[in-house]
Amino acid sequence: MLHITNGDAAAGALARAGFAHADILPWRDVLHEGPVPEGLRLDELSSVRAQFLADCGFGDYDSVRESFAERDFRLAGAQAEDEVVMWFESDLYDQLQLMQLLDWFADAAHRPSRLSLIEVDRLPISGQFEALSSVEPERAKQLMAARQAVTDLQLSVASACWAAFRKPQPTSFAALLEDNRLGCLPYLADAMLRMLEELPGLAHGLSRTELRSIECLAEQPRSKDALFRAVQHSEPRPFLGDVWFWRHLDRLQGRPPLREQPRPLIEAATTAACPPFSSGEAVLSLTDVGHRVLERNVDALDAIGIDLWWGGTRVWQSGTVWRWDGASVVLSRATRV
């Protein structure tokens, strides 16, 4: 039996529940960040992902690529298992991973004799968001007993969504929100909508994460850690890790510069350097430009520029930028040095 879950913390929780370490495969990819282009085999896509993660400072390329190769090797052997059980949460991070895996298993040649799915959303009593990393052993055993067989419809729908996510324009992905078959995977539609909200907004040029960040700073200056907690608290299904949040803050501060003279939306109250991926204690506040973006008097893309991958889409291309207007994807003109 093979258990596949979102990452090492969840894998540790399953091990504490009595599942053998050797039978647990953490997926370990942050698919809502960086390029996920179409037309690549799993090993080719893993090379692209490894390069992106290495460029972001998560180790040297060879080490990251080797980790992906080990993961992919175990997945390739999954069809020989008597059962594969996928354990995933309802948030965006997990649902994208689930889409990728279901697309893999949609190929009958990759499928084990039994394929099962466990999804968690809210704790039974408190109603709070449930993270697999915190699941208690008894709860894990209950979930295991209640696992459901994956259906052909779930495989088909997830495969269509994964293909659309990897296209060079996000329109097909957005169009799938109208597909009533999405209900076969109860958390997928919400996750897809949340992913679309990470495109630059038409009214201000910010993703939902970035907009919520400057809204929180408009309420009061905060440290990076406090701002992260405030933004996470606003998410019904938190999905963003702290180091990825720091990268969003770097962009709001105009780092790395994408224009000759970026106009940051936020700034540190101290002159001490705040390196990327460091939470630090510097207090952040809105600049005048940040306030003007909130007031819709300045477009963030004009102030700080953009160089962003969203799935298979290069958001900025040839003087235009893909944006989300709250209901649909639109292509608008952009200015960028």
Could you give the strand order of the β-sheet that contains 84-89, starting from the edge strand earlier in sequence? 24-26, 2-5, 84-89, 115-120, 148-149
- Residues 269-302 pLDDT 10s: 754 444 444 445 789 999 999 999 999 999 999 9
Whole-number Å distance between alpha carbons of 60 and 50:
9
CA 16 to chain centre: 26
pLDDT given for residue 271 in this prediction? 43
- Residues 37-94 pLDDT 10s: 999 999 999 999 999 999 999 999 999 999 999 999 999 999 999 999 999 999 999 9
Assigned token pair, 10: 């969840």
User: In the CATH hierarchy, which top-level class contains the domain 2-192?
Assistant: alpha beta
Phi and psi at residue 261, to the nearest 5°: -135, 80
- Residues 126-177 pLDDT 10s: 889 999 999 999 999 999 999 999 999 999 999 999 999 999 999 999 999 9
- Residues 317-334 pLDDT 10s: 878 999 999 999 998 876
Residue 316's nearest CA partner among 303, 332, 299 is 332
CA 319 to chain centre: 26
pLDDT given for residue 332 in this prediction? 86
The architecture that CATH gives domain 208-333 is: Orthogonal Bundle (1.10)
Q: Residue 264: pLDDT band by 50, 70, 90 thresholds?
A: very high
pLDDT given for residue 67 in this prediction? 97
Cα-Cα-Cα-Cα dihedral of 102, 91, 322, 51, to 10°? -70
Task: Please list the residue range(s) of the chain that carry CATH number 1.10.10.10.
Answer: 208-333
pLDDT given for residue 335 in this prediction? 56
Task: Please list the residue range(s) of the chain that carry CATH number 3.40.50.
Answer: 2-192
- Residues 86-137 pLDDT 10s: 999 999 999 999 999 999 999 999 999 999 999 999 988 888 999 999 999 9
pLDDT given for residue 334 in this prediction? 63
pLDDT given for residue 92 in this prediction? 98
